[in-house]
Amino acid sequence: LTKSYGPTEVLHHVEGEINDGEFIVIVGPSGCGKSTLLRMVAGLETVTSGEIAIAGRRVNELEPSARDIAMVFQNYALYPHMSVRENMAYGLKIRKLSKAEINKRVEEAADILEIRQYLDRKPRQLSGGQRQRVAMGRAIVRDPQVFLFDEPLSNLDAKLRVQMRLEIRKLQQRLGVTSIYVTHDQVEAMTLGDRLMVLNGGYVEQFGTPIELYDRPASVFVAGFIGSPAMNFLPATAEEDGLLLPSGIKLVAGLAQRGQVLLGMRPEHLIPDAAGPIAIEVEMVEQLGANTLLHGTLSGTDHAMVASVSGHVSAEMGTVHRFAVTPELLHLFDPETQKRLEA
């Protein structure tokens, strides 16, 4: 798919095939085109070029109501003057289903989402999490081929987001409905998706399982975007017997590459080791309970580094902590193209 607004192309040849019943997450920073892509699938945006097919049927020219999709929006989009029951039933009334069938579907969905006791309330009488459940209930009753979620949890507080995330995943697995979910939150993406499509500036950087993206990021962008805290990057020189770092230290590794590379190391893959080759001069410590983040620079340089160490670690500002890293867990990228190099 390509999408242009006048001469400005905002989505560039986005391709992907989604399996029946699969949960796909489109993830990327603000302004990368992910909501535009979702709205094209929904029929709320026109397609400049390319084709959208749902269950083998081309839907480019079909109205949203004829595409057999149901969308859950960020702002819930509930009618304030209608009760929860009326909000959930509205789309079915438009389709002229019988009263008995409408009631059956609404009550089944209300039971699944545990909102039966709220059916006669108005949206203003509900909390954010309850409104989100109503919005999902309105999608479920339609029994669509595809669920589309546009950042549905971004208005909720952190604890509720985690709870609702699990509920959405369990719900999707129970119903088995193909789902496309848009978020800018990479933790949300990693925990929800069977596969993730990472968008950057309207281009697909990588489309794969969460573990593929974590273990073998296709580009510097994906490597830095997936994983928390973000990957460390250092310019390095690949030589016959290993990698020469800016500090003058050499990491021993068998490499197929030669010349200038960008070296990536995940903070959680740095292992505390008094004799380790990587020395970090500590500037700040974040105690997170289960683990500790040591922020600083590669000793003798101004290259920022973060190490994630399990448990409680006390470290004074200015002290140097040393780490080892397993060669198999190093990532190499081309400094020019920013694409992955095979070690």
Q: Is there a contact between 322 and 300 (Cβ–Cβ < 8 Å)?
A: no
Sort strands 69-72 and 146-150 into parallel, antiparallel or unpaired.
parallel
Residue 252 has pLDDT above 80, yes or no: no
In the DSSP assignment, the letter for residue 6 is T
- In residues, how long is the chain? 343
What does the pLDDT look like over 171-188, one tens digit per residue?
899 889 999 999 999 989
Q: Compute the average pLDDT of residues 19-35.
A: 94
Residue 250 has pLDDT above 90, yes or no: no
% of the chain residues with pLDDT over 70 = 99
CA–CA dist 336, 329 (Å, integer): 22
What does the pLDDT look like over 45-84, one tens digit per residue?
999 999 999 999 999 999 998 999 999 887 778 899 999 9
Sort strands 178-183 and 146-150 into parallel, antiparallel or unpaired.
parallel
83 Cα distance to chain centroid: 33
What does the pLDDT look like over 262-274, one tens digit per residue?
999 999 999 999 9
Q: Which residue has the tokens 């281009």?
A: 203
For residue 4, which phi and psi values (nearest 5 degrees)?
Answer: -125, 145
Residue 189 has pLDDT above 90, yes or no: yes
What does the pLDDT look like over 109-159, one tens digit per residue?
998 888 999 999 999 999 888 888 898 898 889 889 999 999 888 888 888
Which residues, 6 or more positions from 164, have their beta carbon under 8 angstroms from its beta carbon? 129, 132, 152, 153, 156
Give pLDDT, residue 343. Answer: 66
CA–CA–CA angle 13, 172, 215 (5° rounding): 55
Q: Give 207's pLDDT tier (boundaries 50, 70, 90).
A: very high
Average pLDDT, the chain: 92
Residue 194 has pLDDT above 90, yes or no: yes
Q: Which residue has the tokens 């004074």?
A: 316
Q: Compute the average pLDDT of residues 291-295.
A: 95
CA–CA dist 84, 99 (Å, integer): 16
CA–CA–CA angle 181, 91, 63 (5° rounding): 65
